Amino acid sequence: MEVKKKANGTFMFILMIILSAIFLFPIFIVFMNSFKTKFSIMGSPFKFPTSETFAGFENYISGIKSAGIGGAFIRSLFITVFSVLIIALLCSMTAWYLVRVKNRFTKAIYSAFVFSMIVPFQMVMYTMTYVITKIRFNDPVGIIFVYLGFGAGLSVFMLSGFIKSVPLDLEEAAEIDGCSPVQIFFKVVLPIMKPTVITVTILNAMWIWNDYLLPYLILGTQNKTLPVAIQIAMQGAYGSVNWGGFMAMLVLAIIPIIIFYLFSQKYIIEGVIAGAVKG
């Protein structure tokens, strides 16, 4: 029995290494090609740089100058931070209300949130773009509320699953002590929800930071976010692409989100287990 258990552990360890290598391989290829010349990338994208193909930091320098990455970075950071904060706060309050107040209205609202998770974005993107333009939400502030709408489904679902596991006695005790509903939420419920709230924050931050299509449709090319700025700047005339600069800008774009994920990955596991399994 002990030998079989050890063999299963070894097999799972090897399997995880293989899967990790498969997932990390594209990132490694992008990083390697970011130091190669444009034509060597097109001719031999899977070969290591040589003395003839090594471009040093030229791709990074030219990419930063042409992409206007500074303004796009600040804009992406602004949109990501405030979108995530609003999603985490409002969705946690909404989930708490939907779980604790049980009637037909809250059941219908909860069903609407769950249904929104299975509606493909492509089904609503043209109608959504038209409506957002008409109500003048097509700016860096307005898109925050658009992200709130698209991120609310999964966030409310995860948070509701966790709140169902929170004992109601804690809230009743706080109410007896004279706390208002707002005080109960912020002083009792929200601290308990911390693992799942952090998980929701991380998942939405990675999605919003890397999102290309939604900012392109809503903000266009005037208020470019980082992914849009990189794509436009590296696209040359007659369909040519500055592959070296493109790879270099991709490396710079993924570094912040990788660092953010590495420092927060333990909260993802805790929050998903607490919210999805217990719910």
User: What are 259-269's pLDDT values in tens digits?
Assistant: 887 877 776 66
Q: Are 218 and 141 in contact (CB under 8 A)?
A: no
Q: Are 208 and 143 in contact (CB under 8 A)?
A: no
CATH T-level fold of 66-277: MetI-like fold (1.10.3720)
Separation of alpha carbons 269 and 266, rounded Å: 5
Question: Could you tell me the two tokens for 203?
Answer: 């998942």
Q: Give me the pLDDT at residue 236, please.
A: 58
Question: Could you tell me the two tokens for 191?
Answer: 């601290």
Predicted confidence (pLDDT) per residue in 68-125, tens digit:
678 888 999 999 999 999 999 999 999 999 999 888 999 999 999 988 888 888 888 8
Question: Could you tell me the two tokens for 32?
Answer: 């390697």
Higher pLDDT, 2 or 260: 260
- Please state whether 197 falls in left (phi above 0), alpha (psi between -120 and 50) or beta: alpha
Spacing of C-alpha 11 from chain mean position: 31
Q: Are 113 and 153 in contact (CB under 8 A)?
A: yes
Hey, what amino acid is at 40? Answer: S
Q: Is 240 helix (H, G, I), strand (E, B) or coil?
A: coil
Residue 57's alpha-carbon distances to 54, 76, 232, 249, in angstroms, are 9, 24, 21, 11
Q: Give me the pLDDT at residue 275, please.
A: 47
Separation of alpha carbons 39 and 41, rounded Å: 5
Spacing of C-alpha 115 from chain mean position: 20
Domain residues of the chain, as ranges? 66-277
% of the chain exceeding 70 in pLDDT: 91
First and final CA of the chain: distance in angstroms? Answer: 34
